[in-house]
Every structure is written in C-alpha cells, then in structure tokens.
Amino acid sequence: MHPQQTLFVYVTIGSAPEAGTLARTLVQERLLACANIIPAIHSIYWWQGKMEESNEAVLVGKTTQHRYPALEARVRQLHPYETPCITALPITAGFAPFLQWVAHETQPHQE
C-alpha cells in the first residue's frame, strides 16, 4: 500500500462527547484531516465470554497510510476501552483534490 494511500478510520467509543474530544485531539495533532461523529449507535458484541449490548458513538476519520501507525498509537493512549475498535479501510477511489487535501492536512506543520 502506498504511504499516501487515503484511509477511512473507524473508531467506536462510549459517547458522542468522548468522540468529540478524541476527534478534536486527532485533528489538532494532524493525525486525521477531518473527523465525522455518528453520535448514537447500538452495539451487540462478545466480551469476555458473554454477549453484551451498549450504546456508543462512532468516529470516522480520514488519514493516510503513512499516518496510521501514529494515529493508532494515539487512540490507544487516549481511549478508555481496554480493547478499542480501531480499524482502517483503504479508499480505492475518490475526488483527487479531496484525497490530496487529506494528504496535505495530515502532514505535521510548523505552527
């Protein structure tokens, strides 16, 4: 995968306010070019041998393959879950100016 490959990153978290705090940090640190928050989902999953259900929020972000390792490490550092859902999917096609914008905005900048 090319280092500038654009990725959708999907992270679940306990609430919309938590997702907002995490998203602002990741965008501020240029690990994501932008983040979208889906404020309410209902999750059904296995955890420690039993089926669980909970209400959560989803953070969907756009980044590059190059920035993903740092992004994952930062989410793991900030996330309250023991085993957070942090996944990424490659964007195989898209509007070139948008994809270039994602690549530009996820580069560390001198401020």
pLDDT at res. 110: 57
pLDDT tens digit at each of 111 positions of the chain = 566 899 999 999 999 999 999 999 999 999 999 999 999 999 999 999 999 999 999 999 999 999 999 999 999 999 999 999 999 999 999 999 999 999 999 998 755
List of domains in the chain: 6-105 (3.30.70.120)
- pLDDT of res. 61: 98
Specify the pLDDT at position 10. 98
Cα 90–15–53 angle (5° rounding)? 85
42 CB burial (10 A radius; 0-12, 13-18, 19+): exposed
Residue with tokens 């209400």: 55
